[in-house]
């Protein structure tokens, strides 16, 4: 199943994001999470890939397991800053052997690239998108930033870069985290004005604590609305209270996005199932909204 084809049906698309575990214990936990979330019948799950250039084959292997053993449709993240075109071709060959046709084309974060690992073949995700589309074997998606990319000088400049991805052949977009739906809908307006008319899946994740909130604001430059900040501060130290508040906030946000016309939801799971399952239950009171 190609993600773009699923989006064209007009039905809401629901997906979850995982990252490759590093230990046997974490692997067992992820597989348990995958089994639990499979019960929600997601349209796909995505698997992240480090920008460092040292983990792509772990991503490929996990994608293969999730598809062949768990029966999940998989979108493989692929970053390009730390790879040559020949290396990208080798990774793509591995994906094809596992019958994985969905890829999210990403530049990667320069600060996470290992010393001496930066390559010169790619500078932008649009260049990787061009190569993947030219290959002909993949359904290619891209990332976007409702509040603009942290490195971009302005929302206008960010949209210009996004237009390059769209023109290169990206078929849909998945957003970075955001906690105020106005950012998402204003972003759609800016994109449409620039001639970008791709489906945009909003990416959501409940905040779990004050430290995580600080990380998002400092590293990702994500805005934390005052009601969310106040709630995080109020429930800090109360694990159950924090979970309920965070899930309720994310559930209201998800409901507003769907009612406003979002084509679905992409939930960042941190390899855990509890919050995602609670959000789905809040939305519909059933296994799947």
Q: Catalytic site residues?
A: 17
Q: In what helix (H) or strand (E) does residue 280 lie, and over which residues does it extend?
A: helix 274-284
- Report how far apart, in Å, the C-alpha atoms of 7 and of each of 87, 106, 109, 162, 189 are: 30, 20, 28, 19, 19
- Report how far apart, in Å, the C-alpha atoms of 164 and of each of 89, 150, 159, 202 are: 22, 18, 9, 20
Burial class (CB in 10 A: 0-12, 13-18, 19+), 240: exposed
CA distance 135 to 195: 25
CA distance 5 to 24: 35
CA distance 45 to 68: 13
Q: Which two tokens stand for residue 133?
A: 């589309």
Number of other residues whose CB lies within 10 A of the CB of residue 4: 16
């Amino acid at each position: 199943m190609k993600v773009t084809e699923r989006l064209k049906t007009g039905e809401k698309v629901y997906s979850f994001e995982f990252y490759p575990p590093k230990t046997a214990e974490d692997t067992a936990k992820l597989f348990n999470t995958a089994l639990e979330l499979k019960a929600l019948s997601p349209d796909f799950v995505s698997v992240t890939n480090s920008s460092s250039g040292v983990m792509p084959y772990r991503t490929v292997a996990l994608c293969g397991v999730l598809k062949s053993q768990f029966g999940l449709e998989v979108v493989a993240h692929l970053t390009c800053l730390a790879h040559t075109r020949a290396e990208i071709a080798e990774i793509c060959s591995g994906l094809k052997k596992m019958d994985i046709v969905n890829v999210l084309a990403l530049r990667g974060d320069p600060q996470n690239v290992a010393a001496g690992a930066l390559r010169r073949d790619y500078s932008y995700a649009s260049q990787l998108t061009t190569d993947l589309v030219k290959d002909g074997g993949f359904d290619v998606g891209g990332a976007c930033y409702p509040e603009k990319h942290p490195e971009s000088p302005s929302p206008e400049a960010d949209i210009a870069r996004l237009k390059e991805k769209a023109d290169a052949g990206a078929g849909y977009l998945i957003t970075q985290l955001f906690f105020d739906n106005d950012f998402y809908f204003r972003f759609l307006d800016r994109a449409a004005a620039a001639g970008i008319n791709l489906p945009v899946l909003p990416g959501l994740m409940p905040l779990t604590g004050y430290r995580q909130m600080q990380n998002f604001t400092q590293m990702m430059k994500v805005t934390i609305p005052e009601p969310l900040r106040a709630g995080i501060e109020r429930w800090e130290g109360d694990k159950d209270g924090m979970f309920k508040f965070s899930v309720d906030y994310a559930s209201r946000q998800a409901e507003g996005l769907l009612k406003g016309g979002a084509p679905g939801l992409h939930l960042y799971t941190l390899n855990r199932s509890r919050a995602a399952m609670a959000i789905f239950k809040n939305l519909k009171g059933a296994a799947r909204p």
